[in-house]
Structure 1
Amino acid sequence: MGARGIPGRGRLGALTGAAVLAVSVMTTMPALADESPRGLREVTLPPGTEIVMATPVAAGTGTSAPASADAGGLPAECLGVTATYGAVGCFQHYGDTVWSADTQADGMSSAVGVYTDYGREPAVCVNPRGAGTMATCKYDYWEKGNVQLLVMRYDGDTGTFYQPQARSSWLPVDGK
């Protein structure tokens, strides 16, 4: 007997609840890295955000990564690998280097925002070099602090950042 003595009512309520939960999860999940966005939504960055154009990564420059933009091309030492449609980013703790990889030929650039837990103004590392490229930005963060990455798309013609976006967890600047 279910709730209030009605046969099967408890089971029906549980099944209905599970179905509602499944539908809500499927409709609120962020876009996967290889999934085309349904529509562009502008991302508003905090005032004072520094926008840095990244330096290209060339083959044979002493990095442990090739210059290709797939997630497998990022250095093994890279922390917090985060991806969304058209962009992959990570943080390399020695050298305080942010990697930005553009993975889609859609006319936009990959962008990796960097936030700290100690009050430093945020920064965004933009890779304007096109699909299939990787680029880096070097910063100097407080070694006892943490950073969080926000990976998104950037339209260089309008200077606008767009979703879909993805956030990393908080990453230790010293890598420990």
Structure 2
Amino acid sequence: MGANWRVRLSVLAGASALAASVVTAAPALAEEPPGGLQEVQMPANVEILDGVAPAPEAAVPFTGGGPKAAAASDTCLGTTSAYGARGCFQHNGDIVWARDTEKDGMSAAVGVYTDYGRPAAVCINKLGADTWATCNKDYSENGKVRLRVMRYDGGNGKFYQPETWSGWIPVDGQY
């Protein structure tokens, strides 16, 4: 009976210590993604594009995301988000949209990969937090693109995760 009591007491003590360590652990800073940043390797021939601010009268292709609602032909496909970045592909005009969602000194980056062998390109939004940037490219209407959303540090020229990928998006917008 005495040995059984000691086992129960040691289990209770261990559980209490574990609970105390969880409660006292330091939370992640709001400026950092959960798990921290990890460098992402990019293809050697990737084209780096500086995004530009959309015109003030431009329709940002997200509900509530801009000065006016976008027409159905201008909607963004493959909307993808990761910590600090959001991106999509507007098939009408082959425009890549990149939004920086965090005020952390880094930029949003949206990589574009094709299913027909064209080298990858990355649209970087260096306009600051809470802004949209666009990169206008011409993709084959018979092809598909895939987006890779991540962070970019202009100080060292490196890309970081967390990152997310979209599915394959038809360039002509016809699924």
**TM-score (normalizing by structure 1):** 0.74
Higher alpha-carbon Rg: 2
Could you report, residue by residue, the CA deviation over 1:7-62 in whole angstroms, capped at 9, with x for unpaired residues? xxxxxxxxxxxxxxxxxxxxxxxxxxx982321100001110000000112422xx
Which residue does the alignment assign to 1:107?
Answer: 105
Which residue does the alignment assign to 2:166?
Answer: 168
Q: Is the 8 A contact 1:48 1:121 kept in 2?
A: yes
- How many equivalent residue pairs? 138
Structure 1: segments with no counterpart, 5+ residues: 1-33
- In 1, the alpha carbon distance for the partners of 2:56 and 2:119 equals 32
Tell me whether 1:156 sits opposite 2:154 in the alignment. yes
2:65 to 53, 70, 73: 73
1:80–1:35: structure 2 CA closer, same or farther, 3 Å change rule? farther
Instruction: Note the C-alpha offset of 1:72.
Output: 4.1
1:71–1:104: structure 2 CA closer, same or farther, 3 Å change rule? farther
Matches within 5 A, 1:112-151: 112-151=110-149
2:52 to 55, 64, 67: 55
Which residue does the alignment assign to 1:15?
Answer: none
Q: Is the 8 A contact 1:71 1:88 kept in 2?
A: no
Structure 2: segments with no counterpart, 5+ residues: 1-30
Q: Is the 8 A contact 1:51 1:125 kept in 2?
A: yes
- In 2, the alpha carbon distance for the partners of 1:71 and 1:89 equals 14
- In 2, the alpha carbon distance for the partners of 1:72 and 1:38 equals 30
The CA RMSD measured in Å over matched residues stands at: 2.0
Matches within 5 A, 1:2-81: 36-60=33-57, 63-65=58-60, 72-73=64-65, 75=70, 77-81=75-79
1:124–1:71: structure 2 CA closer, same or farther, 3 Å change rule? farther
- In 2, the alpha carbon distance for the partners of 1:93 and 1:160 equals 28
Question: What SS class does the counterpart of residue 142 from structure 2 fall into?
Answer: coil
Letter in 2 for 1:158: N
Residues 104-113 or 51-60, more deviating: 51-60
Letter in 2 for 1:48: N
